[in-house]
Amino acid sequence: MRTLVHLLASGLVNLFLVTATVVGPRFHRAPSRRANVLGPVSTVEVVNKVIAPDGFPRSTVLAGGTFPGPLIQAQKGDEFLLNVTNLLNDTSMDITTSIHWHGIFQHQSNWADGTAWITQCPIQPNGSFLYRFTVPDQAGTYWYHSHLSAQYCDGLRGPLVIYDPDDPLADMYDVDDGMVTSSFC
Ligand SMILES: *[C@@H]1O[C@H](CO)[C@@H](O)[C@H](O)[C@H]1NC(C)=O
Ligand SMILES: *[C@@H]1O[C@H](CO)[C@@H](O)[C@H](O)[C@H]1NC(C)=O
Ligand SMILES: *[C@@H]1O[C@H](CO)[C@@H](O)[C@H](O)[C@H]1NC(C)=O
């Protein structure tokens, strides 16, 4: 059994860990059939929800209403059309938002980088923003997160995986079975 581990760490107190474990017959090219998976052309609703990720209920900011947010899955060369819709209404926290697609080069689509007050105005409550970009020469495990203030610490983050149909490392693993661990701050 062979294990492939991707590790991403970010921020001061946030650890983002993706592991892939080899367990069976060759399957790595097949897209995930898990629930909570979005394709590159999707709507992502950002909502407030009370959850208890560590046993203590608290209001959070979630992509698609789950923590972590849905896996966004694409193929190298795909065009992303991600309509991020802001349904935030908990005024004890920020109710504007933006999403950064961490690690994506954004060549000729800098405006879609998702950095609030730098490449775009924050998305207003009840507003939406269409992020449109391509990934002609990138594949691998990435993540997305709020890029407004420290909002990603309140829950808005999730995995972003781009598969390469001609993966040069394809013979090194059989199953890509991602997992995310995180801490709240
Ligand atoms: C994004 O979704 C919102 C809410 O459904 C909708 O009002 C808006 O027209 C959509 N934007 C695009 C570009 O499809
Ligand atoms: C706020 O938004 C959440 C999630 O969309 C919803 O469940 C809740 O009813 C809303 N609360 C108010 C006061 O509108
Ligand atoms: C967003 O839309 C909902 C439903 O139409 C409305 O109740 C709420 O007041 C709106 N929020 C803002 C900030 O405009």
Q: Cα angle vertex 165, ends 164, 169, to 5°?
A: 65
Distance from residue 154's CA to the centre of ligand 2 (Å): 16
Tell me if 40 sits within 8 A of 79, measured CB to CB.
Answer: yes
Tell me if 51 sits within 8 A of 60, measured CB to CB.
Answer: yes
Q: Is the CB of 89 under 6 A from ligand 2?
A: yes
Tell me if 158 sits within 8 A of 131, measured CB to CB.
Answer: no
Could you tell me the pLDDT band of residue 32, with boundaries at 50, 70 and 90? Answer: low
Could you tell me which residues come within 8 angstroms of residue 108 by beta carbon, excluding any fewer than 6 positions away? none
* Domains and their CATH numbers in the chain: 33-170 (2.60.40.420)
Res. 13: pLDDT tops 60: no
Q: What is the pLDDT of residue 11?
A: 36
123-166 pLDDT, tens per residue? Answer: 999 999 999 999 999 999 999 999 999 999 999 999 999 999 99
Q: What is the pLDDT of residue 175?
A: 78
CA-closest residue to ligand 2 atom 10: 89
Could you tell me the pLDDT band of residue 31, with boundaries at 50, 70 and 90? Answer: low
Q: Is the CB of 42 under 6 A from ligand 1?
A: no
Could you identify the atom of ligand 2 that is nearest to the CA of residue 89?
1
pTM: 0.85
Ligand at shortest distance from the CA of 90: 2
Q: What is the DSSP string of 108-161?
A: T-GGGS--BTTTBPPBPTT-EEEEEEE-TT--EEEEEEE-STTGGGGT-EEEEE
Res. 22: pLDDT tops 50: no
Which residue in this structure is represented by tokens 């897209």?
31
User: Can you tell me the mean pLDDT for 32-55?
Assistant: 90
Distance from residue 46's CA to the centre of ligand 3 (Å): 14
